[in-house]
Amino acid sequence: MNPASRARRRDMILLLVLSGTIISICMGLRQSLGLFMRPMTLDAGISAATFGFAIALQNIVWGISQPFVGALADKYGPRPILVWTGLAYAAGLAMMAFSRGELLLNVAGFLLGVGTAGTAFGVLMGVVARATPPEKRSQTVGLVAASGSLGTMLLAPIGQSLIDGFGWQAAMLVFAVIASSMMAFALPIRGLAVRLDAEPVAATAATQPLGEALREAMGHRGYLFMTLAFFACGFQLVFITTHLPAYLQLCGVAPGVSAAALGLIGLFNTIGTYIFGLLGARYSQKRLLAGIYLLRTLFIIGFLLVPITATTTLVFAAAMGMLWLGVSPLVTGIIARVFGLTHFGTLYGVVFFSHQLGSFFGAWMGGLVFARTGSYDIAWGALIAIGLAAFTLQWLMDDRPPAELRRAGGLQPAAA
């Protein structure tokens, strides 16, 4: 291997480590916030509905701001966006530590949403994709995406230990310090991205305008079915990360089990994301996606039917972890195959917004139901109903490309 190749390989490894570390911190902190709901409701006088709405706001702001944050990263480069959104993330966590009412908590949720848009998958996946040869792109991007689960496995137990030993405020401030470290990890990325972005820009211009592509997608019933089904994904998962710790305490399960469950979700998510990425290359992606929605819902039903103990909780967490982000490579593959890559970011962004809309209602609904009924029974029922609806929509999805649908008379021309 010549010196230039060795240098490129070294830069690539460093880029993957830095990107994976930032995503891991971002997602690990975000998915551990549910640990704070119970102590905050007891100590700060914040209701479950108020806490749930702040988490819901974080998710909807993430979905809305993602396209704008991505556009800024394209224009100014990834480093300044990563630094500023990392700062917003840390500021949001610090603000939560001093929240004693709804206003400050919601401002914190807003900052966390903007911070997540910059430090989660969107910006960094673009950097890694541009730095990777096409033949290795899928597995490399999948590897970095899977690393985001490792943060939950580490940070959830750390958070619970800090809460138990020093109180929730000190734990939240430590989380803010950890979040601020993302800015330091972002500093070398600009230079790495410039050196590794050696693939020439495609010489051919897009033949289909963006507006026409959007009209074509919105007239594609299969695309709409998948978008609606993705709502259920966000609804189920964010409800679990936000409200499972409080639900377990109501069932008499020790607080440490909640942190262990979130950690198991992170561990098995890493395995599941990789496995479903491999399966999606060999089998029907829409059927696999429908299967994930169905299995999640069946595991929820099974969890509610058995006695809620530490053991059943950890088994449930491991099962859900296997199905957690396995949807990502499948949704990505379907959009790329059906519509191509010309306007992939925009079309994926629409689907992702539906996911975040589901996240908003999942977090808010759980807190609202508990505040009004003192129980999560209705909320769990909603998760089951929406999961079954998502399975049905995804199973019935027509995943033929628009040109093929038009030949069969199932799709009007986009300009019509």
Domain-located, residue 287: yes
Average pLDDT for the chain: 83
Return the pLDDT at 298.
96
Return the pLDDT at 87.
95
Are 396 and 249 part of one and the same domain?
Answer: yes
Give the separation between CA 348 and CA 345, rounded to whole angstroms: 5
Q: Which residues of the chain have pLDDT under 50?
A: 198-206, 414-416
Are 173 and 252 part of one and the same domain?
Answer: no
Q: What are the backbone dihedrals phi and psi of residue 133, each rounded to the nearest 5 degrees, phi first?
A: -60, 145
Are 146 and 54 part of one and the same domain?
Answer: yes
Number of domains present in the structure of the chain: 2
Domain-located, residue 63: yes
Pick the last residue of a domain from 146, 173, 198.
Answer: 198
Domain-located, residue 67: yes
Are 132 and 219 part of one and the same domain?
Answer: no
Are 128 and 239 part of one and the same domain?
Answer: no
Query: What's the pLDDT tens digit per position in 311-349?
Result: 999 999 999 989 987 887 788 778 877 887 666 667 777
Give the separation between CA 29 and CA 53, rounded to whole angstroms: 18
Return the pLDDT at 136.
64
Tokens of 329: 């490579």
Are 181 and 251 part of one and the same domain?
Answer: no
User: pTM value?
Assistant: 0.74
Domain-located, residue 411: no
Pick the last residue of a domain from 168, 198, 228.
Answer: 198
Tally of CA atoms within 13 A in the half-sphere of 257 that contains its CB: 21
Are 163 and 276 part of one and the same domain?
Answer: no
Tokens of 145: 């995406």
Return the pLDDT at 37.
82
Are 193 and 219 part of one and the same domain?
Answer: no
| Residue range of the domain that includes 113 | 9-198
Domain-located, residue 210: no
Domain-located, residue 204: no
Domain-located, residue 408: no
Return the pLDDT at 284.
87
Domain-located, residue 414: no
Query: What's the pLDDT tens digit per position in 40-83?
Result: 888 777 887 788 788 888 888 988 887 778 767 767 778 899 99
Give the separation between CA 218 and CA 84, rounded to whole angstroms: 34
| Angle of helix 102-119 versus helix 3-30 axis, rounded to 10 | 160
The enclosing domain of 303 has a CATH number of: 1.20.1250.20
Are 271 and 334 part of one and the same domain?
Answer: yes
Are 243 and 273 part of one and the same domain?
Answer: yes
Q: Hunting for tokens 């734990």 — which residue is that?
A: 171
Are 302 and 230 part of one and the same domain?
Answer: yes
Pick the last residue of a domain from 198, 229, 248.
Answer: 198
Are 231 and 285 part of one and the same domain?
Answer: yes
